[in-house]
C-alpha cells in the first residue's frame, strides 16, 4: 500500500463500542432491487456481497418503518416482524464479507410515490406539497399517527437488533419525513409537533430506548441529515447548526452529512464554504462526522480526513468499482474504475432496475461505451 493512503486504514472506535476496521464506509444508496412484497432479493444480496469486502461498514439502502412510508419501487421492508428473516439475510451477507452492517431506517412522508402506497395518499407533517414538478399534496398526519410513527422507528430498531445488525442509521435527510418535520416549508403545525426539532428528537429517543431495551452488546445509532433544502421557506445552514448542536448531545455514534459534493457551498446563498466542514467545526469535537459526496479517488478521501472529518463514505464510486478499498490497500489504486462501461453490468453485479436507471439518467454516472 502507498503510505500516502495509510490514514484511510486506521481503525475507528465509535461511542457505542463498535470498532470500524477502517475509515471508509459504503454510503446508503437506493438500488430498487427488493422483491415485490418487501423482502430482500437474491439480486440485492449479490450486489451487497460484491461491495462489502473492503469497507469498514455498509450503510444499507433505506427501509421503511411503516407501510405508508414506502418511498421507492423495489424497497425492502422493516415494518413488521415477518421481515426479520429477510433483514437477517442482508446483515449476514454484509458481515460475512468483513464489514459492519448498519440498517438505514426511514419514512418517505410526502415524497412517497402515490403508486407505491396502499391508499395512494402520501402523508406529512402538514398538507403542503413539495416544490417539485408533479408533486402531490400530502395528508397531514394526526397527532396519534405521529406518535405511532415515532414508535415504529423504535420497533424497526428492535427488528434490526433481532436480525443481527451492528447498528441503525436514522434517515433524517434527503427531503423525507424526518426532514419534513424539521422544515419550515413542510411543517406548519400548531400542536407540539410544530416545534421543528420535536419529531427528530423523539425519533432519536425512540431508537435509543429500543437499543437500551433489546441490544445485548454495542449497537450503533447514527443520524443522517441534509444541511439545506431548496424549498422556501426552507432549512438553512443556521437551522442545521442548531439541530446538530442538539444531536451532539444525544449520545449518538455519528452524524452523516448528505451532500452531492463534500466541498460544495450553499445551495441557498453565495456562501462557498463546505457545509460538511461547517458542521465539523460546530460539533466535530463532540460527535464524529461522516463526509460524503464526489470523493472519487483515494487522494480525495485522504483530503477529507485531513480536514478533521474522521470518516468518509463512498457511493457511486463503489457501484463503479466494488473493490475500491481493496485496490487501494493492495497498492493498485491505478486500477480503480472511474467510468462505467455499458458492458460491465454482470461483472459489477448491478441489479437490473438500478442498471436501467443509471443508463437512462444522463449525467448521473460517467457512462462510456
Does residue 144 register a pLDDT over 90?
yes
- Cα–Cα distances in angstroms (integers) from residue 54 to residues 13, 22, 225, 246, 255, in the given order: 17, 9, 25, 33, 22
Does residue 240 register a pLDDT over 90?
yes
| In contact, 83 and 76? CB cutoff 8 Å | yes
DSSP class of residue 262 equals T
Does residue 134 register a pLDDT over 90?
no
List the grid coordinates of 298.
Answer: 483515494
Q: What is the pLDDT of residue 157?
A: 99
Residue ranges of domains in the chain = 3-368
**Number of Cα atoms under 13 Å in the Cβ half of residue 271:** 14
Determine the average pLDDT of the residues in 223-238: 96
Beta-sheet pairing, 19-20 with 12-13:
antiparallel
- Cα–Cα distances in angstroms (integers) from residue 75 to residues 160, 162, 330, 361, in the given order: 16, 20, 35, 20
Q: What is the pLDDT of residue 85?
A: 98
Determine the average pLDDT of the residues in 346-358: 96
Does residue 11 register a pLDDT over 90?
yes
- CATH number 3.20.20.70 is the correct assignment for the domain at 3-368: yes
Q: What is the pLDDT of residue 43?
A: 97
Report the distance separating Cα 225 and Cα 20, nearest Å.
21
- Catalytic residue of the set 64, 176, 223, 254: 176
Q: What is the pLDDT of residue 225?
A: 98
- Cα–Cα distances in angstroms (integers) from residue 359 to residues 331, 340, 350, 352, in the given order: 31, 9, 12, 11
Report the distance separating Cα 286 and Cα 205, nearest Å.
18
Determine the average pLDDT of the residues in 173-183: 98
Query: Per-residue pLDDT tens for 153-176?
Result: 999 999 999 999 999 999 999 999
Determine the average pLDDT of the residues in 124-151: 96
| In contact, 125 and 139? CB cutoff 8 Å | no
Report the distance separating Cα 185 and Cα 244, nearest Å.
19
Query: Per-residue pLDDT tens for 251-309?
Result: 999 999 999 999 999 999 999 999 999 999 999 999 999 999 999 999 999 999 999 99
Q: What is the pLDDT of residue 362?
A: 92
Does residue 20 register a pLDDT over 90?
yes
Confidence of residue 37 (pLDDT cuts 50, 70, 90): very high
Report the distance separating Cα 176 and Cα 106, nearest Å.
8
Confidence of residue 369 (pLDDT cuts 50, 70, 90): confident
176 tagged catalytic = yes
Does residue 177 register a pLDDT over 90?
yes
The position carrying cell 457551498 is: 265
Compute the mean pLDDT over every residue in the chain, rounded to the nearest whole number.
97
Determine the average pLDDT of the residues in 209-215: 98
Report the distance separating Cα 230 and Cα 268, nearest Å.
7
Rounded percentage of the chain residues whose pLDDT exceeds 90 = 99
Amino acid at each position: 500500500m502507498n503510505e500516502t493512503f495509510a490514514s484511510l486504514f486506521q481503525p475507528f472506535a465509535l461511542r457505542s463500542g463498535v470498532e470500524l476496521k477502517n475509515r471508509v464506509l459504503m454510503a446508503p444508496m437506493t438500488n430498487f432491487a427488493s422483491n415485490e412484497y418487501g423482502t430482500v432479493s437474491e439480486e440485492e444480496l449479490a450486489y451487497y456481497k460484491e461491495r462489502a469486502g473492503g469497507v469498514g461498514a455498509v450503510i444499507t439502502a433505506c427501509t421503511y418503518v411503516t407501510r405508508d412510508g414506502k418511498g421507492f419501487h423495489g424497497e425492502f421492508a422493516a415494518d413488521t416482524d415477518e421481515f426479520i428473516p429477510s433483514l437477517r439475510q442482508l446483515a449476514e451477507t454484509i458481515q460475512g464479507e468483513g464489514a459492519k452492517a448498519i440498517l438505514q431506517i426511514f419514512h418517505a412522508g410526502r415524497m412517497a410515490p402515490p403508486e407505491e402506497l396502499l391508499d395512494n395518499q402520501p402523508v406529512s407533517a402538514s398538507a403542503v406539497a413539495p416544490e417539485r414538478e408533479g408533486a402531490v399534496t400530502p395528508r397531514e398526519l394526526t397527532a396519534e399517527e405521529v406518535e405511532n410513527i415515532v414508535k415504529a422507528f423504535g420497533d424497526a430498531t428492535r427488528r434490526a437488533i433481532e436480525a443481527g445488525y451492528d447498528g441503525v442509521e436514522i434517515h433524517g435527510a434527503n427531503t423525507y419525513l424526518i426532514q419534513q418535520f424539521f422544515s419550515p416549508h413542510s411543517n406548519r403545525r400548531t400542536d407540539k409537533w410544530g416545534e421543528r426539532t420535536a419529531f427528530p428528537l423523539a425519533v432519536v429517543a425512540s431508537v435509543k430506548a429500543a437499543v437500551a431495551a433489546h441490544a445485548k452488546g454495542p449497537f450503533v445509532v447514527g443520524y443522517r441529515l441534509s444541511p439545506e433544502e431548496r424549498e422556501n421557506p426552507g432549512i438553512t445552514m443556521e437551522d442545521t447548526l442548531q439541530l446538530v448542536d442538539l444531536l451532539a448531545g444525544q449520545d449518538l455514534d455519528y452524524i452523516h452529512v448528505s451532500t452531492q459534493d463534500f466541498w460544495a457551498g450553499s445551495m441557498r446563498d453565495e456562501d462557498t464554504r463546505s457545509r460538511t466542514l461547517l458542521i465539523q467545526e460546530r460539533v466535530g469535537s463532540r460527535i464524529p462526522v461522516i463526509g460524503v459526496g464526489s470523493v472519487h479517488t483515494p487522494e480525495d478521501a485522504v483530503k477529507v480526513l485531513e480536514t478533521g472529518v474522521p470518516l468518509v463514505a463512498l457511493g457511486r464510486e463503489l457501484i463503479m468499482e466494488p473493490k475500491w478499498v481493496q485496490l487501494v490497500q493492495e497498492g493498485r489504486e491505478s486500477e480503480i474504475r472511474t467510468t462505467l462501461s455499458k458492458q460491465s453490468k454482470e461483472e459489477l453485479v448491478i441489479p437490473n432496475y438500478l442498471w436501467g436507471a443509471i443508463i437512462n439518467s444522463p449525467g448521473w454516472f460517467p457512462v462510456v461505451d
